[in-house]
Structure 1
């Protein structure tokens, strides 16, 4: 009789541990495992074990708040069910072999603070719904195959501090709303197909420390308002179609280490040569 009771208790405890996470969250994790060939991951999940033991899953009060499977050989597509992880604050799938589109309703992750899907094979547009994830502080989608334009209302992500999208195929002009991201410290848009002018409203981003627009199709004068970015440390606007000269007042930004390359491929340091012409990559 004691053995029966003990067995029952063990079963009950095991069931409770497995059932602690909501069914929808558990299903989301299982679908991710299935759609990215979980059996081939470097560090695998035992689906019969409690979710609290699954590699890369962080729980808080029986809710999935973190998922870090970076560099873990995930191959395949992100399932739409991943948006059922509604308590998720951190999603890091950096450096895998994930292809296909970013789930359309990624914006359902309203508590998400950090999104890193960089160094994968993602394609398609950045979903417009991302603007609903207003808690986002970091978005890293670089080294993918993303296309289309940036969501027009990206400026609604008013807590965003880092936006890193370099080495994609994103096109069009920089949305005017982006200049409302006053918390932004890092903006990396290099090696894309951005066009149009860099607005004088760039001065609104007064916390900006790193601005890279390297290797795009941007044109027009370099805004004199750049000199108002007193926290700027790195600025790379080479290999565009900018014309004119850089404001000499930029030399007063003591922290700035600015390198540009002119049409002849000659590198110059801002503080050495303030009159460098920056009509780069013109044909």
Structure 2
């Protein structure tokens, strides 16, 4: 009986030890990532002589690296190309660090990715079109960086996206028509950019939308009536744009800045409230 127990314990240990082993390629990718982001200065460092499973913020499952969570850990420098060899990643959380450089085309390798949060960094350049190949992505948070250029025209391919937060960057141009195809969106935060053009009437497709923030851009034209039919919409800010026309009282009540717009000379004014029969907006918790 004693020998059977011993055998069982050895078997369990062997299984756990095997499960702890990640491929040499993934381990090498992590090590390159550690050195490229000045790991010796991290708040929570890795002991590279120990097993990957002991490394702070690294999640493994069945011998694969599935998650990296290193927010506010003093990461500096650029993400190395090897980082995108971690093809089994489901979640990446690197917010509140000092990462620089561009998001590379190779991000398309992370086909299993559902969460990407690199907000509050110093990333620059454009959002690569290749990010639209991440079809499982549900949460994309790139806010508080130095990103520029236009939004990828094929962003609508991200048809499982629930959170898109790109605020506080330098993104310009019109909203791509494909963005209105993402019917799963619950949070759309694009404020504090340089976006322009009109909002499409297809905004009515955002059935699940709860929070819409577009303030401090250069949007113009009339505010689509379809916004009033988004029954889940409970937070909204469209102010500090160049919208014209009238707006319903229900929509105005959702905007904490009372629909304050800018005219062609940069002078602020309040959009006129439409006093005709209005569509009630039902908020849901």
TM range (shorter): 0.7 to 0.9
CA distance in 2, matches of 1:18, 1:62: 5
Deviating more after overlay: 148-157 vs 18-27: 18-27
Mapped to 2, the partners of 1:153 and 1:262 lie a distance apart of: 30
CA shift, 1:64, in A, is 0.4
Post-superposition offset of 1:157: 0.6
Structure 1 equivalent of residue 162 of structure 2: 161
8 Å CA contact 2:138–2:162 kept in 1: the answer is yes
Q: Structure 2 CA distance, aligned partners of 1:225 and 1:133? A: 29
2-side partners of 1:140 and 1:19: how far apart? 30
Per the normalisation by structure 2, the TM-score is 0.84
- Give the deviation of 1:28 after TM superposition: 1.1
1:62 shift after superposition? 0.9
Q: Which structure 2 segments of 5+ residues have no match?
A: 1-13, 276-285
Equivalent positions of 1:22-41 (< 5 A) are: 22-41=23-42
Name the counterpart of 1:258: 255
Three-state SS of the structure 2 residue aligned to 1:121 is coil
Residues 34-61 of structure 1, C-alpha deviations (whole Å, 9 max, x = no match): 1100000000000010000000000000
Tell whether the 8 Å contact from 1:18 to 1:49 is kept in structure 2 after alignment.
Answer: no
- 1:103 Cα deviation (Å)? 2.1
RMSD between superposed Cα atoms in Å: 2.2
Asked if structure 2 preserves the Cα contact closer than 8 Å seen for 1:153 and 1:175, the reply is: yes
* SS at structure 2 position matched to 1:167: coil
State how many pairs are aligned: 255
Structure 2 counterpart of 1:139: 140
Q: Distance in 1 between matches of 2:244 and 2:133?
A: 37
User: TM-score, normalized by length of structure 1?
Assistant: 0.85
- Tell me what 1:93 maps to: 94
Deviations 1:18-40 (A, max 9, x none): 98111111111111101100000
Q: Give the Cα–Cα distance (whole angstroms) in 2 for the partners of residues 204 and 80 of structure 1.
A: 37
For the residues of structure 2 that align with 1:70 and 1:248, how far apart are their CA atoms? 41
| Aligned pairs for 1:1-283 within 5 A | 20-248=21-249, 250=251, 257-259=254-256, 260-263=259-262, 274=274
Q: What is the rounded CA distance, in whole Å, between the counterparts of 2:248 and 2:200 in structure 1? A: 15
Give, in whole Å, the separation in 1 of the partners of 2:200 and 2:250: 18
Partner of 1:4: none
- Provide the rounded CA distance (Å) in 2 between the counterparts of 1:132 and 1:203: 25
Q: Distance in 1 between matches of 2:220 and 2:207?
A: 22
Q: Which residue of 1 aligns with 2:10?
A: none
In structure 2, C-alpha distance between the alignment counterparts of 1:212 and 1:66, rounded to whole Å:
29
Which ranges in structure 1 are unaligned for 5 or more consecutive residues? 1-12, 276-283
* Contact 1:105/1:127 (<8 A) preserved: no
TM-superposed deviation, 1:176: 0.4
Please say if residues 60 and 67 of structure 2, whose CA atoms lie closer than 8 Å, have aligned partners that are also in contact.
yes
Matched position secondary structure for 1:195: strand
